[in-house]
Amino acid sequence: MDATMTSWREDIVAGFRQLQDTLCEGLVRLEQSCNGSGFVEDAWERPGGGGGRTRVLSEGAVWERGGVNFSDVHGEVSRGLAEQLGTTASSFMASGVSLVLHPQNPWVPIVHMNVRHFALSDGTQWFGGGIDLTPHYVVPTQAGAFHRVLREVCDAHVVADYNRFKREADDYFFLPHRDETRGVGGVFFDHLGREGHGDWDACWAFVLALGNSFLPAYVPLVEAAKDQPFTNEQRDWQLHRRGRYAEFNLVWDRGTRFGLVSQGRTESILMSLPPEVRWTYDHQPGPLERDTLSWLRKDVDWVNH
């Protein structure tokens, strides 16, 4: 790794580690306000270089399963990783924070966030990440509020483009075999800072700001819906929608594939999967559920809805 890349490493790793702490503190406050529990931390080391902190919340008052992971790994580029990245570099460094929360109440959306930095021994490095919302039941006002927070953080940073990042999220968080988006999207970007996308300081500032926008974007939605009554039928629909989430993560998600081909820690990689799911042959949704399905499409203008 060149000197410039190495000099960035400590600041990036420290920033991501602090972000994990901030996110967990905010989520624990909400859990404890409902007499729930906190996260269990599992510190781990990666064979070949680096490690991380996996923090998992199970059977909580608000979330049935949740995880907030910090990782900082490095090592040789395996054949599988080289093929995935299209590189001839011999070694890599990767650090970041990833988060997935599966709520107890079907009216509270699933949420995902990831912010990361990646560097190769050939001198290339970049940022990537995103935040997206996966409601079991789409509530347009809820989706609009979520997207407006993301637009505001993008508008505050010259290197960010909400409209472009929103389109990339629609394209990325899509299940081609179902012809539906995973949820109501959010923002997604990759290779930021790699090829003239603004200066490095500005890219790093945006990535941290996006990570810190998670709690303001998501927590109000949770507070508004966590105590809403739900039926057995709505719980059943929640389990079916979790099945779609599992399909995406196992078949299409790049982060899952990267973790596996880079010999990452399997328990941490698959932490994003929900604890219970359901697949029913030829499942026939009811009217309220069909309404949600009608919203699972690209190019919805949620900000102005």
- Classify the C-alpha dihedral 16-39-67-260 as positive or negative: positive
Spatial CA neighbour of 96 closest among 16, 25, 211, 205: 16
In this structure, what CATH number is given to the domain that contains residue 217?
3.40.1500.10
Q: Are 184 and 135 in contact (CB under 8 A)?
A: yes
Range of the domain at 237: 3-295
Name the band, by pLDDT with cuts 50, 70 and 90, for residue 9: confident
pLDDT for the residue numbered 264: 62
Tens of pLDDT, residue by residue over 118-128, are 988 888 889 99
Number of separate domains in the chain: 1
Q: For residue 14, is it within any domain? A: yes
pLDDT for the residue numbered 2: 47
Spatial neighbors of 4 by CB under 8 A, at least 6 apart, are none
Give the C-alpha separation, 225 to 232, whole Å.
17
Spatial CA neighbour of 173 closest among 300, 301, 297: 297
Element (H, E) at 148: helix 140-155
What number of other Cβ atoms are within 10 A of residue 232's Cβ? 7
Q: How far is CA 72 from the centre of its chain?
A: 17
In one-letter notation, the amino acid at residue 171 is D
Tens of pLDDT, residue by residue over 205-235, are 999 999 999 999 999 999 999 999 999 999 9
Phi-psi map region of 104: left, alpha, beta (phi>0 left; psi -120 to 50 alpha)? alpha
- Classify the C-alpha dihedral 259-40-16-66 as positive or negative: positive
Q: For residue 167, is it within any domain? A: yes
Q: How far separated are the first and last CA of the chain, in Å rounded?
A: 47
pTM: 0.92
Tens of pLDDT, residue by residue over 28-87, are 999 998 888 889 998 988 887 888 999 999 989 999 999 999 999 888 877 777 777 777
- φ, ψ (nearest 5 deg) of residue 139: -115, 110
Stated length of the chain: 305
Compute the half-sphere exposure of residue 51: CA atoms within 13 Å on the CB side of its CA. Answer: 6
Tens of pLDDT, residue by residue over 254-278, are 777 777 776 667 777 777 789 899 9
Q: For residue 300, is it within any domain? A: no
**Catalytic pick among 74, 102, 112, 147:** 112
Six-digit token string for 7: 């000099």
In order of 54, 135, 275, 278, 290, the CA distances from 243 in angstroms are: 23, 13, 11, 6, 16
Residue 1 has pLDDT above 50, yes or no: no
Average pLDDT of the chain, as a whole number: 90
In one-letter notation, the amino acid at residue 22 is T
Q: For residue 164, is it within any domain? A: yes
Q: For residue 302, is it within any domain? A: no
Please work out, in degrees rounded to the nearest 5, the angle formed at the alpha carbon of residue 23 by the alpha carbons of 21 and 25: 65
pLDDT for the residue numbered 262: 64
Q: For residue 301, is it within any domain? A: no
Give the C-alpha separation, 295 to 181, whole Å.
9
Q: For residue 19, is it within any domain? A: yes
Give the C-alpha separation, 276 to 17, whole Å.
30
Is-catalytic flag, 112?
yes
